[in-house]
C-alpha cells in the first residue's frame, strides 16, 4: 500500500481543524436541541438557558488562562488534556439525568473548549512561518464556516431520528480519534517555563469576562433593566477595566495587553470585535426569523442559511491567491463593505422568495471570506513566537466577546420589540435586527481602513523560510 507522507505542519493542521470543528459544531448544534431537552426533563424552555450560558461563561473563564497554561506545561500536553476533558464532559452531558447535571457538565465542557482553541491555534501559527499564514487561514475556514452551517442540519437530524443526547455523544468518537492522533504525532513545545502564575489576572479575567458574558447572554431574556443584568454587566465591566490596569503594571501578565501596541494586532482585534459581532449575530438571528417569522422547519431553515458557508468556501480559493499581492487592508475593508451591502439586501428580501434569500446568504459568505482569511493570515504578523500563546488567547477571548455582543444586541432588538403577533410586525422587527447587524460590519469596515499593509509584509511573501518552531524531524509517515 502506498505511503502517504505528511509534514509536521500538515499533521498539526489536521488535528487542530478536526478539534476546532468538533467544538464549534457543538456550540451551534445545541441550539437546535434545547426544545427537546426541555421536553425530556419536563421544564420550560427558559429553564434550559443555563445549558448555553454555563458553557459560554466557562469559555470566558478559561480562554484567557490558556496562553499561560500552554506555555508553562507545554502545548501538546495542554492540548491533549483539553481534548480529553471536552470528550469526557460531552459523554457526561449525554448521560445527564437533570437540567442541573447537564449545566454542570456543560461548564466542564466549556473548560476543555476554552483551552482547546487558543492552544491549538498557537501550535498552528508556530508551525507555519508568516509567509505561509494565508495557507493556514484557508484551512481555518473549514471549521469556522462549515461547523456553524452544519450545526442546525446535524442537530435537527439527530434530535428527530435519535435523541438530544446524541448531540453530545457524537463528540466522543471524534475526541478519542483526535486524542490518539495527537499523542502519536504532536511534539511538545514550551515557552516561559519558569514564569509564575498571574493569580490576580486570572481572578479578574474569570470574574470580569464571566460576569459580563453572563449579563450579555441573559439580557434578552431578563431585560436590560433587570437588577441582575445591571449588576453583572456593570460589575463585569468594572473588573475588566481593573484587569487591564493590573495587567499593564505586571511583569508577567496572564493577558498581555501590551501586545495591542502592535498596530496590526490592535486594529485587527478591534475590527474583528465589530465584524464578528455583526456576522455571528446575523447567523444567530436568521434561523430564528425563518422558523418563527416564516414558520419553516429547522431543516429548511438550516438549508437556507447554509449557502453562506458555500460562499466562503468558493471565495476563499480566490482570496488566498489575492492576499500576497494586495494585503489585508483592502481585502478586509472591502469584504466587510460587501457583507454590509448583502446584509442590507437580506433585510429587504427577507420575506420574499426563499431562493433569493439563499442567494443573498451565499453573497454574504463570499464577502466574509475576504475578511476571515485576511484577518487570520495577518493578525499575528508582528507577534513573536514567544508571545504567540498569549496573543491567540487574547484573540479568541475577543472573538467570544464579539459573538456575545452581537447575539445580545440582535436578540434584544427582537425581544423588546416583538410584542406584535402579526407577521407584518415580525417582519419589521427582524428587519431592524438585520440592519443592526449591517451596522456592526460597516463599523468594522471603517476601523479596518486603519490597517497598514506594510505591518503584514512578512505574511505576504511568496517564498517561505523554514520555521524554527517546527522540529527537525517534521515528516511523519502513515501507512
pLDDT tens, 368-382? 989 988 888 888 888
Please indicate, yes or no, if residue 282 is contained in any of the structural domains: yes
Task: Say which residue the cell 459580563 belongs to.
Answer: 212
Count how many Cα atoms sit within 13 Å of the Cα of residue 349 in the half-sphere of its side chain: 15
Confidence of residue 190 (pLDDT cuts 50, 70, 90): low
Reported as a single tens digit per residue, the pLDDT across 410-438 is 877 776 554 444 444 477 888 888 999 99
Structural domain that includes position 157: 4-188+254-478
- Tell me how many domains the chain contains: 1
Q: Are 269 and 379 in contact (CB under 8 A)?
A: yes
Residue 368 is assigned to a structural domain of this protein: yes
In the predicted structure, residue 479 carries a pLDDT above the cut 50: no
Does any domain span residue 195?
Answer: no
Is-contact 408 369, C-beta < 8 A?
no
pLDDT at 187: 77
139 part of a folded domain: yes
Average confidence score pLDDT of the chain: 79
With respect to residue 81, please indicate whether it lies within any of the assigned structural domains: yes
CATH of the domain at 432: 1.20.1250.20
pLDDT at 424: 45
Q: Is residue 36 part of a domain?
A: yes
pTM for this entry: 0.78
The beta-carbon contacts of 107-110 under 8 Å, at least 24 apart in sequence, are 107/54, 107/55, 107/57, 107/58, 108/58, 109/26, 109/55, 109/58, 109/85, 110/54, 110/55, 110/56, 110/57, 110/58, 110/59, 110/61, 110/62
Give 191 or 281, the one with higher predicted confidence. Answer: 281
Strand partners, 7: 475
Closest alpha carbon to 233 in 206, 208, 200, 204? 208
pLDDT at 313: 82
Provide mean pLDDT across the span 221-245: 86
Any idea which residue has 434550559 for its cell?
48
**What radius of gyration do the chain's Cα atoms show?**
21
| Residue at grid coordinates 433569493 | 356
* Dist CA 240 CA 206 (whole Å): 9
The pLDDT of residue 468: 36
Distance of CA 283 to the CA centre of its chain: 12
Q: What is the pLDDT of residue 449?
A: 93
141-148 average pLDDT score:
70
Residue 136 in any domain: the answer is yes
Query: What pLDDT does residue 462 have?
Result: 52
Q: Give me the pLDDT at residue 85, please.
A: 92
Structural domain contains residue 377: yes
Closest listed residue to residue 270, CA positions, set 442, 447, 452: 447
> pLDDT tens-digit profile of 389-417?
778 878 888 887 887 788 778 877 776 55
pLDDT of 454 over the 80 cut: yes
Amino acid at each position: 500500500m502506498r505511503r502517504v507522507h505528511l509534514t509536521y505542519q500538515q499533521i498539526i493542521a489536521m488535528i487542530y481543524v478536526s478539534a476546532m470543528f468538533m467544538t464549534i459544531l457543538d456550540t451551534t448544534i445545541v441550539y437546535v436541541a434545547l426544545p427537546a431537552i426541555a421536553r425530556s426533563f419536563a421544564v420550560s424552555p427558559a429553564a434550559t438557558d443555563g445549558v448555553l450560558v454555563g458553557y459560554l461563561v466557562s469559555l470566558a473563564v478559561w480562554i484567557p488562562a490558556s496562553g499561560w497554561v500552554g506555555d508553562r506545561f507545554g502545548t501538546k500536553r495542554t492540548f491533549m488534556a483539553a481534548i480529553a476533558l471536552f470528550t469526557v464532559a460531552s459523554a457526561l452531558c449525554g448521560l445527564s439525568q437533570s437540567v442541573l447535571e447537564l449545566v454542570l457538565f456543560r461548564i466542564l465542557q466549556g473548560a476543555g473548549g476554552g483551552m482547546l482553541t487558543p492552544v491549538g491555534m498557537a501550535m498552528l501559527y508556530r508551525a507555519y512561518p508568516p509567509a505561509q499564514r494565508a495557507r493556514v487561514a484557508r484551512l481555518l475556514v473549514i471549521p469556522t464556516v462549515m461547523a456553524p452551517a452544519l450545526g442546525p442540519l446535524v442537530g435537527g437530524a439527530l434530535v428527530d431520528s435519535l435523541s438530544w443526547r446524541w448531540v453530545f455523544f457524537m463528540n466522543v468518537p471524534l475526541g478519542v480519534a483526535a486524542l490518539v492522533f495527537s499523542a502519536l504525532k504532536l511534539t511538545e513545545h514550551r515557552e516561559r517555563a519558569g514564569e509564575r502564575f498571574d493569580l490576580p489576572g486570572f481572578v479578574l479575567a474569570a470574574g470580569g469576562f464571566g460576569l459580563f458574558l453572563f449579563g450579555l447572554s441573559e439580557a434578552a431574556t431578563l431585560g436590560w433593566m433587570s437588577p441582575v443584568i445591571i449588576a453583572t454587566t456593570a460589575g463585569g465591566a468594572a473588573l475588566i477595566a481593573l484587569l487591564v490596569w493590573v495587567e499593564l503594571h505586571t511583569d508577567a501578565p496572564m493577558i498581555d495587553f501590551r501586545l495591542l501596541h502592535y498596530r496590526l494586532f490592535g486594529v485587527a482585534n478591534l475590527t474583528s470585535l465589530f465584524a464578528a459581532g455583526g456576522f455571528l449575530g446575523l447567523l444567530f438571528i436568521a434561523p430564528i426569523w425563518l422558523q418563527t417569522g416564516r414558520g419553516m422547519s429547522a431543516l429548511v431553515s438550516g438549508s437556507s442559511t447554509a449557502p453562506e458557508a458555500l460562499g466562503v468556501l468558493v471565495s476563499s480559493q480566490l482570496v488566498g491567491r489575492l492576499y500576497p499581492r494586495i494585503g489585508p487592508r483592502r481585502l478586509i475593508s472591502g469584504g466587510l463593505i460587501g457583507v454590509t451591502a448583502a446584509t442590507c439586501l437580506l433585510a429587504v428580501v427577507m420575506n420574499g422568495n426563499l431562493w433569493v434569500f439563499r442567494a443573498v446568504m451565499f453573497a454574504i459568505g463570499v464577502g466574509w471570506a475576504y475578511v476571515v482569511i485576511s484577518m487570520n493570515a495577518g493578525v499575528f504578523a508582528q507577534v513573536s513566537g514567544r508571545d504567540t500563546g498569549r496573543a491567540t488567547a487574547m484573540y479568541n477571548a475577543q472573538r467570544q466577546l464579539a459573538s456575545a455582543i452581537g447575539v445580545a444586541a440582535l436578540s434584544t432588538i427582537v425581544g423588546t420589540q416583538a410584542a406584535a403577533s402579526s407577521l407584518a410586525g415580525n417582519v419589521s422587527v427582524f428587519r431592524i435586527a438585520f440592519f443592526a447587524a449591517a451596522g456592526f460590519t460597516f463599523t468594522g469596515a471603517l476601523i479596518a481602513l486603519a490597517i497598514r499593509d506594510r505591518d503584514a509584509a512578512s505574511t505576504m511573501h511568496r517564498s517561505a523560510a523554514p520555521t524554527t518552531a517546527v522540529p527537525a524531524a517534521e515528516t511523519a509517515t502513515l501507512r
